[in-house]
Structure 1
Amino acid sequence: MAQHDPRRAIPRTDDLMRLPEVLEATQRLSIAAVKARVRAAQDRARTGEITPDAVADELIRTLEERGASLTPVLNATGIVVHTNLGRAPLSPAAQQAVEDASGYVDVEMDLDSGRRSKRGVGARQALLDACPAAEDALVVNNGAGALVLATTAFAFQREVVISRGEFVEIGAGFRLSDLMTSTGAVLREVGTTNRTHREDYAQAIGEQTGCVLKVHPSNFRVSGFTSGVGISELRTVAETAGVPLIVDVGSGLLHHDPALPEEPDLTSALEAGADLVIASGDKLLGGPQAGLLLGRAEIIQKLAKHPLARAVRCDKLTLAALEATLTAAQPPVQQYLHADPDHLRVRAERLAHHVTQAGYRGISVVPHDGRVGGGGAPGVPLPGWAVALPEMVAGALRTGSPAVVGRVHDGACLIDLRCIPEHDDDRLATAVIAALGGHP
């Protein structure tokens, strides 16, 4: 007699699709998405992960999960601009602007005349109001897109003069030098890793020079026997040669911040003589992912008219969020950067008290320095406090609801409240207690 194959008992797709819970889910999800979850549940039974009679329950469970694959998290790492967690969190005003812009909006229409208008007028004006040192501004999809556009427009099959000490590699092996050469530009390296002088630039500029580029080495610092050339000095070199001076400041800080004394800002770079300044919108500016280009009017107009500008332009949601970030109250990034250490300690002690009251011992509050993150202000500490939990709860916190990402360090899971909105403190306490439930 042939042995019975339990896989024959796996429910058929048609039968599963007729379940009341599945029919209800088709009002929220596409048929394709529902059927994909049906197949996933059936496959788990085929591989023996679950029994055939558990397929329906597994399917219903997955249908109750969030439709999007991105999971909101509470950032308890103390890193303000955390690239792995989406960099800058949007302000309530920016979130509302995104929601308002999610339908039909007048992104390229003048409602008074009914005719087509320029794109991103509001975001552009908000940038100029926030940074009066710029004559004009342009917004593209991200910082890399801004650099590609500028390099292509001014140095296609020409040379970009850049210091060797400013060759930057950021996360995931992404190198700015590779990005620029991919546009057809030729990099003309000057100086050395630790020392570059004004004469190095002056001697390198020639008939093939397209532009002079200064890049802020945002994610590292070189100390010791070093020297570099400031923007004001480079201004005279570039102006004498008749080529534009482009400065990539990286983090998007609009104005000098005493808390980050060595972090370059857009306004200072423009006032020092940069023709064009490039930055990201989702770092210290605290807005959405975007590439910001500010500078002389003729420079910006040349970039705006370049064919590549169409390929790197941003969408209506980005424009709406950026404008709201610039015109509304202080965004979360700035609040977290300047959080009061004493108040952070009060919140940390309150969290520790809740956990202790729930019956868990050995919970302590310890000093903990946060970080800017996102390549900004490397090595600059942001004094604060954290709740030290057993290291083994880190995984349970990440997979809990809400998901909480802490910092695992020196055998402990540190919960820093710097980047957690205060109204979420009770949710955080509940999540911590739930995670500790499996680790007494």
Structure 2
Amino acid sequence: MNPFEAVQLPRVINAAGKMTYLGSSAVRSEVASVMSAASQSYVDMAALKQAIQLRVAELTGAEAACITSCAAAGIIVSIAAVLTGTDLDKVEALPEIKGGKREVILQKGHAVSFGANLTQMIRMTGATAKEIGTVNGVKPYHLEGAITESTAAIVYVVSHHAVSNEMLSLPEVVAIASKHHIPVIVDAAAEVDLKLYLAQGAALAVYSGHKAIGGPTSGLIIGRQDLIDACQLQEKGYARAMKIGKENIMGFYTAIAYYLKEDPQEMADRLKEIVEKLQADIRGCGLTGISTKIAWDATRPIPRLQLIMEENAVMTAKQLIGRLEQNNPSIRTRNHSADAGIIQFDPRELKIEETRIIAQVMQRIWEG
């Protein structure tokens, strides 16, 4: 069934992964059921948030938690929190900053765009984004030299968007920050481990609720109690414009409860089965000028099929991507390496019965 047919939009086969531009995750039926019931009911919203945030903190092992409308909102709320603390006058004054701490440091290779610029998320609070080092190298002295009495926080990005080579590691950043009593905020929007970054010394870690966790559009901040208290207080200021509804709060909570029960190895094995099936289906078409390879994500247990365009390919990677997208059903792929002639197929939102459809469409395009 295609629920978007009513507005004349084609069905999408999602081989791109948990991408915001495609709606991120298709929630499990249990999550959808809870959301439907919540959307048709009433609740004291303050009490709901308090109850869910306490339970999520327990589930993740964090001191405290704050639910947001998305990870981008979580970044803004986290930055606002370090600028204001729990002073309501400062919360209401933003983007005018009442106090001397107004600079947020990040490594040059971490100044990414995830569909919007991370530095803009920082500047929305009134803070100044101070980038250090170069895109191909940051050394400890760069961070040491950037820290002043005006430093409010350091943002550390864990993402395929970010440069990882020759950047300071999170433990290195934390070691320097802790000497100056500066909180480190980790942007871990699409990451899978909900405990790692706090364990490595981050003060706050920000996640998307609708990517690895598999919930509806939502976000999560976990970390130090005092900073989470300040995050929650931002509802009296910036976070009011980013509020999350009762149905998404309940959907997020249901999704994270299921997510934390999953066996990571079973999940990896299931994804590998889908990728191997897709590889076999494509190879079975006998397409000339194409080779395939299974490659694992650098930081997450995600196997992906790489479609590699060879010299005798009948079209470029970008041309094939365009043809796949124009098809009905529209087939969406992961295209970060398209300039290098590589198309990736991500299995996380792909149904195993869709692999044959992808192969058939590719064969029709290739031979057409």
TM over 0.5: yes
> Distance in 2 between the 1:340 and 1:234 partners?
39
Q: RCO higher in 1 or 2 (8 Å CA, sep ≥ 6)? A: 2
- Residue 156 (structure 2) pairs with residue 215 (structure 1): yes
Q: Is the 8 A contact 1:146 1:292 kept in 2?
A: yes
- Residue 329 (structure 2) pairs with residue 402 (structure 1): yes
TM-score (norm. length: structure 2): 0.71
1:296 maps to 224
**Aligned counterpart in structure 1 of residue 255 of structure 2, from 318, 325, 329:** 325
Q: Is the 8 A contact 2:275 2:303 kept in 1?
A: no
Deviation at 1:417, TM superposition (A): 7.3
Q: Is the 8 A contact 2:185 2:204 kept in 1?
A: yes
Rg (Cα) greater in structure: 1
Assess, with a 3 A threshold, how the Cα gap between structure 1 residues 411 and 436 changes in structure 2: closer, same or farther: farther
1:169 maps to 112
Deviation at 1:70, TM superposition (A): 5.3
Deviation at 1:326, TM superposition (A): 1.0
1:367 maps to 292
> Distance in 1 between the 2:211 and 2:4 partners?
30
User: C-alpha offsets along residues 181-231 of structure 1, whole Å, 9 cap, x if unaligned?
Assistant: 23211345555652242784487332x44x22232152132535x645625
Deviation at 1:73, TM superposition (A): 0.8
- Residue 124 (structure 2) pairs with residue 124 (structure 1): no
- Residue 184 (structure 2) pairs with residue 249 (structure 1): no
Q: Is the 8 A contact 1:368 1:416 kept in 2?
A: no
> Distance in 2 between the 1:300 and 1:349 partners?
48
Deviation at 1:318, TM superposition (A): 2.0
Assess, with a 3 A threshold, how the Cα gap between structure 1 residues 300 and 154 changes in structure 2: closer, same or farther: same
What residue identity is the alignment partner of 1:95?
Answer: A
User: C-alpha offsets along residues 357-377 of structure 1, whole Å, 9 cap, x if unaligned?
Assistant: xxxx747984234675xxx84
Assess, with a 3 A threshold, how the Cα gap between structure 1 residues 311 and 287 changes in structure 2: closer, same or farther: same
**Aligned counterpart in structure 2 of residue 90 of structure 1, from 24, 27, 35:** 27
User: Secondary structure, in 3 states, of the residue corresponding to 1:170?
Assistant: coil
1:99 maps to 36
> Distance in 1 between the 2:365 and 2:146 partners?
67
**Aligned counterpart in structure 2 of residue 143 of structure 1, from 71, 83, 91:** 71
User: Secondary structure, in 3 states, of the residue corresponding to 1:89?
Assistant: coil
2:275 maps to 344
Assess, with a 3 A threshold, how the Cα gap between structure 1 residues 334 and 386 changes in structure 2: closer, same or farther: farther
> Distance in 2 between the 1:175 and 1:437 partners?
36
Gaps of 5+ in 1: 1-63, 110-116, 256-265
User: C-alpha offsets along residues 56-95 of structure 1, whole Å, 9 cap, x if unaligned?
Assistant: xxxxxxxx9822465441123xx42334323333333333
Gaps of 5+ in 2: 84-95
> Distance in 1 between the 2:146 and 2:344 partners?
53
> Distance in 2 between the 1:411 and 1:394 partners?
13
1:18 maps to none
> Distance in 1 between the 2:340 and 2:110 partners?
36
Aligned length: 336
Deviation at 1:340, TM superposition (A): 5.6
Provide the identity percentage.
16
- Which runs of structure 2 are paired with 1:303-318 in the superposition (5 Å)? 303-306=231-234, 307-308=236-237, 309-318=239-248
Assess, with a 3 A threshold, how the Cα gap between structure 1 residues 303 and 439 changes in structure 2: closer, same or farther: same
> Distance in 1 between the 2:109 and 2:142 partners?
17
Assess, with a 3 A threshold, how the Cα gap between structure 1 residues 403 and 387 changes in structure 2: closer, same or farther: farther
What residue identity is the alignment partner of 1:105?
Answer: S
- Which runs of structure 2 are paired with 1:198-213 in the superposition (5 Å)? 200-201=143-144, 204-206=147-149, 208-209=150-151, 211-213=152-154
2:347 maps to 418
Deviation at 1:126, TM superposition (A): 4.7
> Distance in 1 between the 2:104 and 2:277 partners?
51
